Structure 1
Amino acid sequence: MNGPTEFHYRLPGRASGSRPGSHPGTSLGAGQEFAMHARLVDFPDPRRLDLRASVQSVRREWLVRLSLQRVAVPVHAVVDVSSSMRFGARRTKLDIVADFVEALGFSAFRSGDRVGMSAFDAMERDDLFMPPRHGRGAGEVMAGMLRAARTGHDGHGAAGLARALMPLAGRSGLVFIASDFHWPLDALPAVLDTLAHACVVPIVVWDPAELAPPDDGRLLAVHDVESGARRTVWLSPRVRTAWREAVARRRGEIDALFAKRSVRPFYIEGGFDGEALSQYFMEQSA
């Protein structure tokens, strides 16, 4: 049986914190990255004594080497569990997100980070909340919660996301927001302002059936998962063109909104790819 998927993530800058981990930090402590020399009387640790630097010092003082400590960072997944996330031609978008959070939990464990999860539809979903924890099985627990999630409040949007993000407001760390973003984005910038100290990664989850009209057939039965309404659409050349233009326009709107915060969304279209997400982080930190 194959184990959990792993991907490698990194923050664009140094992280604050005191808990040892794998990310470059801002605090002085045990580490291999030299920061500066200091007097032994100020940092009384003979294990860090640098004899060569002490002999060459102008004041002939005993000097110790200070290093930048590598630290752990809190990681959090905020997941849209509204009705539209239950759509999928082969697998639902929520199933795909469950694959992602399972991989996230395992990757965070391997990096020495704590990982937690919260969810939203029109409201915050308290039944899908998991506080940050460090453990090999954290990802499996989060994925199981999403796969077994019941339908909650009708609708979704920035209001539910804002409530789910309240515990993270003003804190540092890495925050993934997984959603199809099929809701008005006008209020989203104000919500993102609460995460000014965190590294935010939007995970945009779309099903291939949403991206383009089917090649065969001229009639398409449409079911609105939010309202439950059903209707039949005539797939004329004009409708097909408008469909593709609407998808491109929506993607442009999402990209432009996050670009104002120097953030690039990561798109999942049909299945989670851990190597693609690792590549995303390498490009972001290059």
Structure 2
Amino acid sequence: MAAAGRERIDLPYRLFGRARGVAPGIHRAAGAGLNGAFLRHGSILDTPDARRIDVRASITDPFGGLKVRRFENRARIDVFVVLDLSGSMAFGRGEEEDPIADLCAAIAHAAIRSQDRFGLIAAGPKPRRDIAMRATRRAGLPDEIWRRISQDAGEGAGLAGLLAMLDELPQRRSLVFVVSDFLMPERDLEELLGRLWRQDVAPVIVRSSAVETKLPRFGLVETADLETGRRRLVLMRRSLRAAWLARARERRAALDAVFRRHGRPAFDLVDRFDPDAFVDHLISGGG
């Protein structure tokens, strides 16, 4: 059962590029510091810290200068989930099973374990400040995130509210997981990613396998638009089924091209949240 309090695993995410934070953490940061791997020796004139003097390197210096050890800087970052709560995101979610809530709670858990801060931006056509959360490290955060998200499946059409709330992201580069089905016009997708240009964006595509596995070869199929509530009957036949599946593959390939152009491949969240698959994706360069 997926619920608050569920055991969660650590996720090996990382920030592409150098962090700009000042608080000590685990992410590679700009400049030299005191808590990372050894980088090189430097002059004590550049780094006036007697605690870092390397006696051996100083003795062997042909110019007789005092040498100090310089280390790689490590810093904390902010990790955000930008969550699409438009109506099309309501499929496959219930009171006890909610793959989106599982995913977001797992990311929050990993952020706290890595000494980072976690924040949430959630909206559809309207901002959802009752669900959103500023970056924090407070106790009980993963369970709170699970409860907030699982209690709201989303409604309405469009992403106007989500785009408006992106201004609340920090100016400093953060790791931002964008969670959506991405069933939007290409111009809206480009606007969404363009507004996140200063962030390190890790997309997560939410989709249902029923689109590919439960389409009959022949018969009446009732379709429903989760954003507008509109329903219609379609006479499914072999040629139409093949065309639908081809469009689904073409859409996924087009999304993949857009995401790679903006820096990272997407993770497919299909039907349920699989922590092991997500870990493999992050290790392979997806986050």
Q: Would you say same fold, with TM above 0.5? A: yes
* Matched letter for residue 142 of structure 1: I
Return structure 1 stretches of 4+ with deviation > 4 angstroms.
none
Aligned to 1:22: 26
Report whether the alignment pairs 1:138 with 2:163.
Answer: no
Distance 1:117 1:2, change over 3 A: closer
Report whether the alignment pairs 1:270 with 2:271.
Answer: yes
Aligned to 1:68: 72
* Partner Cα distance (1:222, 1:104) in 2: 33
Structure 2 unmatched runs, 5+: none
* Partner Cα distance (2:216, 2:189) in 1: 35
Report whether the alignment pairs 1:51 with 2:55.
Answer: yes
* Partner Cα distance (2:128, 2:121) in 1: 7
Cα pair 1:212 1:244 within 8 Å, conserved: no
Give, in angstroms, the shift of residue 121 of structure 1: 0.6
* Partner Cα distance (2:261, 2:77) in 1: 25
Cα pair 1:213 1:240 within 8 Å, conserved: no
Aligned to 2:250: 249
Aligned to 1:121: 124
Report whether the alignment pairs 1:99 with 2:102.
Answer: yes
Per-residue CA deviation, residues 62-96 of structure 1 (Å, 9 max, x unaligned), is 111111122111000010111111112x759x921
Give, in angstroms, the shift of residue 59 of structure 1: 2.3
Distance 1:151 1:35, change over 3 A: closer
Give, in angstroms, the shift of residue 130 of structure 1: 0.4
Aligned to 2:157: 155
Report whether the alignment pairs 1:3 with 2:10.
Answer: no
Q: How many residues matched?
A: 282
* Partner Cα distance (2:38, 2:49) in 1: 15
* Partner Cα distance (1:166, 1:185) in 2: 21
2:130 counterpart SS class? helix
Report whether the alignment pairs 1:40 with 2:55.
Answer: no
* Matched letter for residue 96 of structure 1: P
1:60 counterpart SS class? coil
Cα pair 2:90 2:153 within 8 Å, conserved: no
Report whether the alignment pairs 1:205 with 2:206.
Answer: yes
Structure 1 unmatched runs, 5+: none
Cα pair 1:16 1:27 within 8 Å, conserved: no
Give, in angstroms, the shift of residue 204 of structure 1: 0.4
Taking structure 2 as the reference length, the TM-score comes to 0.89
* Partner Cα distance (2:178, 2:226) in 1: 21
